[in-house]
């Protein structure tokens, strides 16, 4: 069977890396990572997160890029093609559908957070962040959210900008924006880390991030770390798979994956090193929740020389980082509508934008008019985040690795990944055994169905993976192929 011809390709050799890094590096690194690390108590969470990136995030990202490139299309179309090529069931398309839905749901709350970053860029300038205590800055943040017009206006602006860039097409908009944004953001973060170093809270912040306390490993925290690994690498949400579908043949999937994952992790750790020292130096609690960076960083900017200029630049960079991520969340849907129904990218963006505006409105109202509506203790904004990060993305991840590990014809992934034999064997081992078992264990643990003490659990997991690997290799040819009807 001949391979699908690509319709769109990245323009430059760096196009994919830039765009995928632009997608991965976003509010997840600068806003979410610090605040959930604060909520789950620091070092142990950071370690779990790093382990999830290494053991699950990287193999899953390689898989998604390879499937995207092989199938050359939106998640649904790409999966449909690779499955067809392998003679498997078209039901696998549902995995692509769920990923697209997850990307869309994330965008619905992401525009609100990105709106905060945009608003704070302006607030840095107009003096509304002149308050000199964390409490007062917390008040500014709350007042901003209490006003639906203000909060909504910024979020709608972000949504419209995102749709506009996506409508214009892949290459120019996305590639150009990330080319200078990424280095700029890294420099800004280094400056902030430098400031944090002098703030008097550096060692407290450093310890919080990197000192390991086994008692903080809980099922809930593990699920959060796993979900965040997916979120921060833009996995199981259609973004990376669709970007992968524009990757020219001949570029190394593994190398690009490592570059993106390393950049993403560095930005998150730098953000943590910039933020926690300031928090501890000012007697603020690290578990302040989603407002954490908006209440702490302006204080640092006020105290440093040229602080206003740095502050404006910083929030502007965060806004752009958020935009390059937001674009990738809806790219899959636009690519799908474009391919499936033949509508122009512009119309596809307009149609998805209409739905986006309605649903994200509910997320904006969660902070003011609808703040009393909290079914099962979560408002609408929290529900979107919770459902996608904790459930949809890890589940999507399991199915993607099962698809690649068991259902696809083995030469497909081998060709696309084009790795030395040992590296390929390692990838295969990870997607067949380690990733599915780890994700399942984390799920079962979070549901309270698996309980073991924090240290012994690693023996259990290693044992389960080993046993499954042996059994799987012995039985696989017969059982799995029989199930797949081949």
Residue 265 as a binder of ligand PHE (CB under 6 A): the answer is no
Residue 49 as a binder of ligand PHE (CB under 6 A): the answer is no
- The interface region with ligand PHE, picked from 74-82, 174-182, 234-242, 243-251 by CB under 6 A, is 234-242
- The interface region with ligand PHE, picked from 23-31, 211-219, 352-360, 401-409 by CB under 6 A, is 23-31
CB of 230 to ligand PHE, least distance (A): 8
Sign of the alpha-carbon torsion through 166, 167, 173, 177: negative
Residue closer to ligand PHE (CB basis): 392 or 441: 392
CB of 191 to ligand PHE, least distance (A): 21
Map the footprint of ligand PHE across residues 245-264, applying CB under 6 A: none
Number of residues that bind ligand PHE (CB under 6 A): 16
HSE value, Cβ hemisphere, 13 Å, CA-based, for 353: 20
Residue closer to ligand PHE (CB basis): 27 or 196: 27
Question: How buried is 477 (Cβ within 10 angstroms: 0-12 exposed, 13-18 middle, 19+ buried)?
Answer: exposed
CA distance 209 to 213: 11
Alpha helical stretches, state H, 245-306: 253-281, 292-303
Residue closer to ligand PHE (CB basis): 106 or 465: 106
Residue closer to ligand PHE (CB basis): 329 or 441: 329
Element (H, E) at 203: helix 202-210
Q: Which of 145, 234, 257, 366 touches ligand PHE by CB under 6 A?
A: 234
Residue 37 as a binder of ligand PHE (CB under 6 A): the answer is no
- The interface region with ligand PHE, picked from 21-29, 186-194, 295-303, 352-360 by CB under 6 A, is 21-29
Residue closer to ligand PHE (CB basis): 140 or 384: 384
Q: Which of 202, 206, 231, 336 touches ligand PHE by CB under 6 A?
A: 231
Residue 329 as a binder of ligand PHE (CB under 6 A): the answer is yes
Of residues 481, 441, 436, 479, the one with CA closest to residue 460? 441
User: Which residues are CB-contacts of 22 (< 8 A; sequence separation ≥ 6)?
Assistant: 174, 177, 178, 181, 182, 321, 324, 325, 327, 328
Q: Which of 325, 333, 338, 379 touches ligand PHE by CB under 6 A?
A: 325
Of residues 141, 160, 152, 188, the one with CA closest to residue 35? 141
Residue 26 as a binder of ligand PHE (CB under 6 A): the answer is yes
Contact by Cβ (8 Å): 369, 381: no
Sign of the alpha-carbon torsion through 222, 227, 230, 233: negative
Question: How buried is 324 (Cβ within 10 angstroms: 0-12 exposed, 13-18 middle, 19+ buried)?
Answer: buried
Contact by Cβ (8 Å): 246, 10: yes
CB of 200 to ligand PHE, least distance (A): 30
CB of 21 to ligand PHE, least distance (A): 10
Residue 103 as a binder of ligand PHE (CB under 6 A): the answer is yes
Angle at 187 between CA 182 and CA 191, to 5 degrees: 150
Q: Using N-to-C axis directions, what is the helix angle for 307-341 and 345-365, rounded to 10°? A: 130
CA distance 118 to 35: 19
Q: Which of 63, 162, 232, 242 touches ligand PHE by CB under 6 A?
A: 232
Q: Which of 17, 18, 20, 24 touches ligand PHE by CB under 6 A?
A: 24
Residue closer to ligand PHE (CB basis): 26 or 219: 26
Residues of this chain that interact with ligand PHE (CB under 6 A) are: 23-24, 26-29, 103, 106, 231-232, 234, 237, 239, 325, 328-329
């Amino acid at each position: 069977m001949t391979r699908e011809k690509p319709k769109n390709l990245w323009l430059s050799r760096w196009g994919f890396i830039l765009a995928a890094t632009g997608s991965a590096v976003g509010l997840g690194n600068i806003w979410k990572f610090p605040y959930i690390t604060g909520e789950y108590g620091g070092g142990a969470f950071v370690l779990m997160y790093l382990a999830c990136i290494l053991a699950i995030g990287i193999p899953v990202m390689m898989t998604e890029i390879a499937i995207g490139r092989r199938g050359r299309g939106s998640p649904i179309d790409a999966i449909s093609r690779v499955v067809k090529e392998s003679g498997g069931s078209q039901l696998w398309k549902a995995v692509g559908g769920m990923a697209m839905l997850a990307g869309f749901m994330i965008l619905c709350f992401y525009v609100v957070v990105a709106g905060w970053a945009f608003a704070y860029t302006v607030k840095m300038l107009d003096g509304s962040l002149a308050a000199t205590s964390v409490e007062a800055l917390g008040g500014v943040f709350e007042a901003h959210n209490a006003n639906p017009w203000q909060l909504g206006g910024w979020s709608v602006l972000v949504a419209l900008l995102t749709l506009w860039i996506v409508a214009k097409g892949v290459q120019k908009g996305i590639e150009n924006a990330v080319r200078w944004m990424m280095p700029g953001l890294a420099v800004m973060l280094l400056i902030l880390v430098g400031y944090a170093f002098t703030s008097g809270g550096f060692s407290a912040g450093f310890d919080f991030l990197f000192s390991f306390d086994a008692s903080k490993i809980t099922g809930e925290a593990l699920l959060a770390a796993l979900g965040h690994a997916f979120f921060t690498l833009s996995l199981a949400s259609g973004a990376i798979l669709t970007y992968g579908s524009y990757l020219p043949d001949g570029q190394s999937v593994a190398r690009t994956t490592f570059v993106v994952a390393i950049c993403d992790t560095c930005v998150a750790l730098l953000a943590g090193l910039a933020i926690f020292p300031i928090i501890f130096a000012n007697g603020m609690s690290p578990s302040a929740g989603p407002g954490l960076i908006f209440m702490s960083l302006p204080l640092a900017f006020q105290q440093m020389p040229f602080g206003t200029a740095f502050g404006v630049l910083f929030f502007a960079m965060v806004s752009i980082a958020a935009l390059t991520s937001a674009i990738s969340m809806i790219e899959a849907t636009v690519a799908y509508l474009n391919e499936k129904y033949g509508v122009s990218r512009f119309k596809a963006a307009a149609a998805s934008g209409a739905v986006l505006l309605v649903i994200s409105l509910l997320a904006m109202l969660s902070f003011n008019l609808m703040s009393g509506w909290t079914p099962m203790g979560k408002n609408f904004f929290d529900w979107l985040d919770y459902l996608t990060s904790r459930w949809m993305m890890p589940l999507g991840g399991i199915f993607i690795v099962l698809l690649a590990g068991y259902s696809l014809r083995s030469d497909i992934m081998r060709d696309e990944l084009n790795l030395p034999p040992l590296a390929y064997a390692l990838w295969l081992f990870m997607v067949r055994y380690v990733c599915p078992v780890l994700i399942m264990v984390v799920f079962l643990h979070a549901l309270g169905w698996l309980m073991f003490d924090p240290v012994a659990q690693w023996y259990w997991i290693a044992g389960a993976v080993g046993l499954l690997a042996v059994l799987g290799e012995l039985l696989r040819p017969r059982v799995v192929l029989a199930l797949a009807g081949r």
